[in-house]
Amino acid sequence: PSTFEYSFDTPSYKGKVALNTGLFIGGKFVDPVEGGTHDVINPTTGKLTTKISVATKPDIDTAVKAAQKAFNESWGLKVPGAQRGKLLMKLADLLEEHRSELAAIEALDNGKTWSWAYNVDVPGAFSCIRYYAGWADKNSGQVIETAETKFAYTRHEPIGVVGQIIPWNFPLLMLAWKLGPALATGNAIVLKPSEFTPLSALRVAELLNEAGFPPGVVNIVNGYGHTAGAAIAEHMDIDKVAFTGSTIVGRKIMEYAAKSNLKNVTLELGGKSPNIILDDADLDQAVAWAAHGVFWNHGQTCCAGTRIFVHEKIYDEFLERFTKKAQALKLGDPFAKETNQGPQVSKTQFDRIMGYIESGKQDGATVHLGGSPHGSEGYFISPTIFTNTKPNMKIVREEIFGPVGVVIKFSTEEEVIEQANDTHYGLAAAVFSKHIDRALKIAHKLNAGTCWVNCANTLDTQIPFGGYKQSGIGRELGEYALTNYTNVKAVHINLGMEI
C-alpha cells in the first residue's frame, strides 16, 4: 500500500508525518481488493492532500474474518479484563505522546484549529481510552437472589464482532468514544472513519500495533458510506453496529440491521438544541457560552445550541453583546495562533450550509450578522446570526451543521419550554439563570439527553451522552456505554428444586 508524507512547518506545529494509506486489516496495511482510491481534500485550500485506499464489500468480509479470528483466539473473554485494560492504557499513553502530531493531522484533514485539536480533541481521545481502560476489569455481573433452591448470576459477555461507523466532525475523538468501551468489554472491531477525514485513524492503526493489541482486534477500513458503510451495517457476521452521523443515514442503518441479522444498533444522530437565556442570567457568561455553543468547531457539533431563546427583558442587550462576540471570531489558517475558526469540512458541507442561509433569507428571516462565505480560498463561512424567524422556517427546524444560529425572543417560561421541545430532535439543551431552582425546573421539562445549566457544549468522558427522540438510541461515554457492547447472560443453578 502507498504512504503519505507531509511536512508541517507552521506556527503551531513543526514536524513530519508519514502515514500508510492502505486498509488496516489483521494488524497489517493491505491494498483493497477492487483497488479504489479516494481524494482527500484540504478544506483550508480546497486542494488535494493525498489519496487513500477505499474498501468495498470483499474487504469488509476480510476484515470481519480477521476480527472473528482475533475474537476467538486472542481476545474476548480469553484475555482477562486487567490485560485488556493494560493495552488500552498503553494506547492512551501513545496518543498522549503523539498529541501535537495528532492535532496537526486533525487540523490538516478537518480544518479545525490546531489549538482546539490539541486542547480538546486529542486529550478528549486519550482520556476516554484511559477511562475505559479502568473499566476493563470492573464490569462484572450480579448475583441475584430468588429462592433458597436457586442460585443465579449474570455475566457481562462481549457481543463479538462489532461494526463502528464514525463521522468527520471530531474524527479522532469519535474513534476513541467507539473503541474505548468496545475494547474494554472485549469485542473485536471493524471501524469505518468518514471519507472526509480518514487520516488520524490511519495513525491510530499504527499506534494500536505499537501498543501490542493482537492483530485483528481492531480493523480500520476507510471507504464510502453506501459501499463500505453499508457492507458493515448489512453484514451477517457483525452482531452490533454503532453509528454516529446524520439522522437520514441512521434510519438506513436500522433498515440494514432489520434486513440482515437484526444486529443490535446504537445511534448518535443530529440535533437542533435550544439554549434558553432567562432574564436573571449572568449576561457575560451567557453570551460567552452561547457563542461557544453555536460557533465552536465551526458549528459542526451535533449538540450545538443553534436555537438561542432570550427573554424579552434582556433580548436587545444580549443580541448586541452576542453579535460583538461573533464578530470577534477570527477566521483563517487553522495553524495560525490567533485563528478561532477554520473552514467547514468539505465543499458538500459548505454548499449545504449556504443553502440553508439562502433558505432563511428567502423565508423572510433577518440576517443580523454574516450570511456569506469568507475569503476566496477554502470552505470558510462567516459566523451568521438570524433574527425575526418563525417556528416553521427550515433554519429553525433543521440541523444546519455550520456557524449559523437563530436568536428568538420569548416572554414566559411555559412558552419557551414548549418552543424548545417543538423539535424532532432531543440531543441537548441549555438553561441560563442565576437561580438554580428556576433553571433546574426548566431543565427537567426539556426533552433532551443532555441538559446544561449555566454552560453549553461541554462534555466529559464520565458523563453519558446521547439523544431523546430522533437524536439517537443508546448512550455513549460513562459507565452507560458499556451496556452497548455487552450481552447479559443469566445463569440459573438448581440448589434443590425438584420436578
Give the one residue of 20, 169, 384, 447 binding ligand TXE; rule: CB under 6 A: 169
Site for ligand TXE in 182-221 (CB under 6 A): 192, 194-195
Is 303 noted as a catalytic residue in this protein? Answer: no
Neighbouring C-alpha atoms within 13 Å toward the C-beta of 485: 31
**Smaller CB distance to ligand TXE: residue 43 or 81?**
43
Is 268 considered catalytic here?
yes
Q: Smallest distance, Å, CB 299 to ligand TXE?
A: 10
* Site for ligand TXE contains 171 (CB under 6 A): no
Q: What angle do CA 360, 361, 364 make, to 5 degrees?
A: 90
Q: Which residue type, as a one-letter code, is found at position 269?
A: L
Site map 295..334 versus ligand TXE, x via CB under 6 A = -------x--------------------------------
Work out whether 36 is an interface residue with ligand TXE (CB under 6 A): no
Q: Output the DSSP codes for 67-84.
A: HHHHHHHHSGGGS-HHHH
249 binds ligand TXE (CB under 6 A): yes
- Tell me which of 268, 406, 449, 484 binds ligand TXE, using CB under 6 A: 268
Cβ proximity to ligand TXE: between 89 and 254 the closer is 254
Among 56, 62, 200, 244, binds ligand TXE (CB under 6 A): 244
Q: Which residue in 28, 65, 86, 252 binds ligand TXE (CB under 6 A)? A: 252
The cell 421541545 sits on which residue?
421
DSSP 3-state of 265: strand
Q: Tell me which of 85, 270, 378, 405 binds ligand TXE, using CB under 6 A.
A: 270
Q: Which of 106, 195, 302, 399 is catalytic?
A: 302
H helix runs in 185-296, sequence order: 199-211, 230-234, 247-259, 283-295
Of 172, 164, 202, residue with least CA distance to 96: 172
Q: How many chain residues are in contact with ligand TXE, going by CB under 6 A? A: 26
**Interface region with ligand TXE, contact rule CB under 6 A, candidates 128-136, 140-148, 166-174, 325-333:** 166-174
Residue 266 interacting with ligand TXE (CB under 6 A): no
* Pairing, β 47-53 against β 37-42: antiparallel
Q: How far apart are the C-alpha atoms of 221 and 243, rounded to whole Å?
A: 15
Among 229, 343, 378, 383, binds ligand TXE (CB under 6 A): 229
* Nearer residue to ligand TXE within complex by CB, 192 or 307: 192
- In the β-sheet with 143-144, what is the strand arrangement from edge to edge? 143-144, 150-158, 486-494
Give me the residue whose beta carbon is nearest to ligand TXE. Answer: 225
Q: How far apart are CA 461 and CA 483, in angstroms?
A: 15
> Nearest-5° angle of CA 383, CA 386, CA 391?
135
Only one of the segments 21-29, 86-94, 161-169, 406-414 lies at the binding site for ligand TXE (rule: CB under 6 A); that segment is: 161-169
Angle at the Cα of 1 from the Cα atoms of 61 and 199, rounded to 5 degrees:
85
Q: Which of 335, 401, 432, 485 binds ligand TXE (CB under 6 A)?
A: 401
Number of helices (H), then strands (E), belonging to the chain: the values are: 15, 22
At its nearest, how many Å lie between ligand TXE and the CB of residue 31?
Answer: 20
Applying CB under 6 A, the span of 8-16, 241-249, 258-266, 481-489 interacting with ligand TXE comes to 241-249
Q: Which residue has the cell 471501524?
A: 191
The contacts of residue 65 (CB under 8 Å, 6+ apart) are none
Part of the chain binding ligand TXE (CB under 6 A), chosen from 16-24, 153-161, 226-234, 284-292: 226-234
Among 59, 106, 121, 399, binds ligand TXE (CB under 6 A): 399
Per DSSP, 476 falls in state B
**CB nearer to ligand TXE: pick between 98 and 240:** 240
Residue 291, helix vs strand vs coil: helix
* DSSP bridge pairs for 490: 154
Q: Which amino acid is at 327?
A: Q
* Residue 158 DSSP SS3: strand
Binding site for ligand TXE (CB under 6 A): 165-167, 169, 192, 194-195, 224-226, 229-230, 233, 244-246, 249, 252, 268-270, 302, 349, 352, 399, 401
Q: Which residues are catalytic?
A: 268, 302
